[in-house]
Structure 1
Amino acid sequence: MPRANNGNNRIHCATTASEAVDAALSWKSKLGYATFSLSYVMQTMIVTWQMFYFTTFLNVSMAVTAVLIATGKIVASVIGPVWGYISDRMYHNALGRRFGRRRSILIFAIPANFVFYLLLWIPNLPIAVYFFANLLYWAFFAGITTVQYGLPSEMTENPSQRAQLVGVNQIAGAIGGTFLSVLNVYLFTIWGKDNWESYFNMALLYGIIGTAVLVLGFLSIQERPFDESTNVASADGAAGDGGETHIGVGKRLVSVVWNFLSVLKVKEFRNYLGLYLSEEMFRTVRGTLNTYFVIFVLLLDPQTVSLATGVNLLFGIACVGFFIWITARIGGPRAYRLGGIEVIFVFLAMFMLAMVASHIPAGTRAVLYIGLGLFMNFGITGVVNATQYTYTFIPDVDEIITSKRREGQYAAINSTIDDIFSSAETIVIGLVLEATGFVEGAQSQPPQTVFALACLFSFVPIVICLVGIVFTYRLKLNRENHELLLDEIDRLRAGGSMDDVTPETRALVESLTGMPYEQCWGHNNVINVTHKG
């Protein structure tokens, strides 16, 4: 859907980068983007079975395995911003101009991801090999996720098209998770579950499937063309040299760190982080405590967890279609509030169920839990969809500040902050449970622990979700403001003068960026710490 012509603010050019990414995307491109989530069958295999496989069949101690896995995740969180920094600048070399700045990253990351993934499942290798294979697997996986998270903003400026990309990404993730769960049950039946060959064969199968769909994604996605806005490297050199001066390793490392930190100057990004961290944190609390809540509070068996998970995944796929439509119509903040308020009421209902669990039959408890889970999954689907949709607008705000397209920078930082907070949150939950008297390996828990579990599971997510809802009122980038922002970007791209800005646009830009208008459009040091504006 083309953007409206707002008076004289919009300057039409024969060909601009915005026009190239404003047209409707083909379904080939949309499905190509969905392949990234489908490829997570490899990641799910790692998360679900790596620790069990190492300790059971490779005879690696639990302590060594835990260190090995934790180190890989730490590496991923640290190296993510490096991938974002590099991918944003790949148009500065021949490889990037030949294949695209995102595709050129995938040329290295896809095969390396497969090789190091497969090494983790080959028995009788030295511990050092497993350690470095795990480290490098996570390092290259971070490159793939950085490309994935940045693509919705990269592929289109059309809000409806971005909503569809976010939606197909969610659907593909749910399909991949359901496929893995069902197929695993079948494969264990025919191959057995007490021998290493079964796990190796499963890992090989998922490795081939995951890599194949990533290759399809590589061939299907589209990127912004090379122009001044995507030539991010031109902003790295000394003022006035066009970025052509060679930058030494030391200064390049400083630049990587500075680009990571300087994005926090962007006011709308800080507001978005409030949404994102709230969404991730309340889902982490729910996911971490869910099994404990079902078994020790509701007094149900573990099979109920598996059944509820499968049903919720399928229901979630149906919910995504609704939220693709509603989010594009009412915007991310309102859709977040719609899903968040619904989630809060369900958590309250879960607490009420917990309080009367011992007085109602197990079958009734199970039905009520699964039913409430469906309503909760509806709200969670909305919150996740709204958050991911809102994120797609952040690189547009960054462009009005820097005059450059840095989708990779924000995608990497998004992932890194998520890793840091989710790790810290998991540790805090463990400490709190221990403080309440949680008994490891026990078939039941003390009454004070059961009550603490019910409260943690129900009220902590409610508080976190309320924080996210508060941040939705701080966000300024609704659909109408986005139109006005893109019009101003188009005007400046076409050579328009900053002196000709309208009062309305000036006020909008300053409210989104947190900077005076005169310090925008590259007149700042957000990319280059040595730039004086």
Structure 2
Amino acid sequence: MKPTERRVGYGTAIGYGVTDLFGGGAFAVIGTWLLFFYTTYCGLSVLEAGSIFAIARVIDAILSPIMGYITDNFANTWLGKKFGRRRFFLLISAPMMFLYALVWVTDMSYWYYLGTYLSIELLSAMVLVPWETLSSEMTNRFSERTRLSGVRMICSQLGGLLAVSIPGVIMQFTRKDNPMTYTYTGIIFACIFCLAVFTTWMCTWEAKDVREEFEPEPLGARSGNLWHHLKSLVLDLLSSFKIRMFRQHIIIYIFSFTALDVFGAVFTYYVVYGLHLDASAVSGYLTVAALASVPSTFGFMMLLEKMNMTPSGALRLAYGIIFCVLAFLFYVYITEMAVSVLLFSGVFAVFGFARAGLYYIPWNIYSFIPDVDEIVTKKRREGIFAGVMVLTRKSTVALAIMLIGIVLQESGFVKGQGVQPDSALDAIIGLLVFATAALLAVSFYMTFKFKLTRETHKMLIQEVARLKLGGNLQDCTPECQKVIKDLTGYQYQEVWGGRATHNAVRNEIAAG
């Protein structure tokens, strides 16, 4: 049985999705606690801590796309033929997850913290880039991809739940200001991540024996020269942005996720310095949101799969709710009104529902992008798109935290001080409410331009299948031609052998 003829049940989906305990959990812990940990227990200024994230981005800007390029072509190596072009990297990365525990050690030098954080960034590229491609490789059925995306995002939400709840639980056994809380957290998560990645390696497969006529060129086919490989990589990356749907999707994705990165990084400061509560309250409220996110992800999955809501409509629902939550937090701060724990918990349960949709829908959309690209390039380039997605995701986390550090530093924030000046409090509120809302507004606007639905995807898949069987371009219906133009940005006559083929696009970019 060919890989794409296998059915993807919920058991397989869970085996695939558990790796997002790492994808969601590792960066949820980093986004929520690491800046606070660095500036409170490690003796780093907010500017020094922010520089760690900035340096990591420069390195990752090269690494993630390279990983995508390598995995697209790794099947031509001996290791790739034996272990798989994607899954091989999961196998070797599982035992390396224990590097995560080293990040959360106190009383070390700046260079130690830089080195350990870089090791996690490198490890995450090795895992997330090849893993992201598997949902597209394992099946081309809309419902099964929706299931894979839904289950993986439930696992991601569980990772986020663990990220905010495990430190809170540990705080019950340690002093609330004990840095060992975070060290124990790192050890526990390292064990979870190791088991999760190994489980995915065991439960997944690749489509390595289908679409052979469209397999990527061997690593040495273009040239044995390293310069030519790097040039090909850059051209492939740039050509991915020629796809209209991918350009629209990346804007929605970057601005949505960066908005939540800003919110997550600043919320601790809002609670501790704005509401004058201890850090355990942060864990409590975010735990409520994470608990609500788990069933809510399934709810959004049903909205798309059973109720046929469009991805754009579901995103606008999520954005609207988050706007209301931000308005509530702003009102609480400026009026200094007392809010009961029950009301605050209810607000964060609603926030968790909306956040689930914001996380789930962009990653569900991602699994369909290689299908749109295929009708343009006649190739399957899951690795390239995964590389860009992972790069942008990790870049937004680090860039957001770096900019937050700069803003707080310039506003007069004093590390380790229990009471902050008004200028620092204003900066915290500005970042939490207005910066988050502005980023979400960009994504909200872009949803009105996004055209992917269940019906348009089905039409696209049927047209690709017809062309593969030797169908004539002139036989395509006007409705299908319009759908393809809306998704790809190209006139129908330019795709599948026309001006927009893979090599033509790459040559056009190189010439331009």
User: Shared topology, TM-score over 0.5?
Assistant: yes
* 2:268 matched residue in structure 1: 291
- Superposed displacement of residue 123, structure 1: 11
Change in Cα spacing, 1:133 to 1:499, as seen in structure 2 (3 Å) is same
- Superposed displacement of residue 290, structure 1: 1.2
How far apart are the structure 1 equivalents of 2:174 and 2:433? Answer: 40
How far apart are the structure 1 equivalents of 2:191 and 2:410? Answer: 45
Residue of structure 1 aligned with 2:328, choices 346, 349, 359: 349
Amino acid at match of 1:93: T
Higher alpha-carbon deviation: 391-400 or 345-354:
345-354
Residue 134 of structure 2 corresponds to residue 159 of structure 1: no
Amino acid at match of 2:288: V
Residues 57-72 of structure 1 mapped to structure 2, 5 A cutoff: 71-72=55-56
Residue of structure 2 aligned with 1:463, choices 438, 447, 458: 438
- SS of residue in 1 equivalent to 2:470: coil
How far apart are the structure 1 equivalents of 2:412 and 2:184? Answer: 41
* 2:86 matched residue in structure 1: 102
Higher alpha-carbon deviation: 20-29 or 500-509:
20-29
Change in Cα spacing, 1:64 to 1:470, as seen in structure 2 (3 Å) is closer
* 1:495 matched residue in structure 2: 470
How far apart are the structure 2 equivalents of 1:406 and 1:203? Answer: 35
**Structure 2: gaps spanning 5 or more residues:** none
Amino acid at match of 2:17: A
Amino acid at match of 2:242: K
- Superposed displacement of residue 76, structure 1: 2.9
- SS of residue in 2 equivalent to 1:233: coil
Change in Cα spacing, 1:294 to 1:245, as seen in structure 2 (3 Å) is closer
TM-score by length of 2: 0.84
Higher alpha-carbon deviation: 285-294 or 439-448:
439-448
TM-score by length of 1: 0.81
How far apart are the structure 2 equivalents of 1:366 and 1:187? Answer: 21
- Superposed displacement of residue 253, structure 1: 0.8
How far apart are the structure 1 equivalents of 2:300 and 2:324? Answer: 19
Change in Cα spacing, 1:305 to 1:230, as seen in structure 2 (3 Å) is farther
* 1:484 matched residue in structure 2: 459
* 1:10 matched residue in structure 2: none
Task: Say what the alpha-carbon RMSD is for the aligned residues.
Answer: 3.9
- SS of residue in 1 equivalent to 2:281: helix
Does the CA contact (< 8 Å) of 2:74 and 2:85 recur in 1? yes
* 1:251 matched residue in structure 2: 228
Does the CA contact (< 8 Å) of 1:331 and 1:478 recur in 2? yes
* 2:193 matched residue in structure 1: 210
Does the CA contact (< 8 Å) of 2:50 and 2:403 recur in 1? no
How far apart are the structure 2 equivalents of 1:465 and 1:46? Answer: 21
Residue of structure 1 aligned with 2:279, choices 287, 299, 302: 302
Q: Residue deviations 1:352-394, cap 9 Å, x none?
A: 222322xx33xx3544333222222211212222222222221
Change in Cα spacing, 1:231 to 1:128, as seen in structure 2 (3 Å) is farther
Residue of structure 1 aligned with 2:353, choices 369, 375, 378: 378
Amino acid at match of 1:90: F
How far apart are the structure 2 equivalents of 1:250 and 1:283? Answer: 38
How far apart are the structure 2 equivalents of 1:521 and 1:410? Answer: 19
Residue 156 of structure 2 corresponds to residue 173 of structure 1: yes
Change in Cα spacing, 1:51 to 1:70, as seen in structure 2 (3 Å) is farther
- SS of residue in 1 equivalent to 2:450: coil
How far apart are the structure 2 equivalents of 1:184 and 1:425? Answer: 22
Residue 325 of structure 2 corresponds to residue 339 of structure 1: no
Residue 370 of structure 2 corresponds to residue 398 of structure 1: no
* 1:509 matched residue in structure 2: 484
Amino acid at match of 2:333: A
- Number of positions where the alignment pairs a residue of Structure 1 with one of Structure 2: 504
Does the CA contact (< 8 Å) of 2:235 and 2:506 recur in 1? no
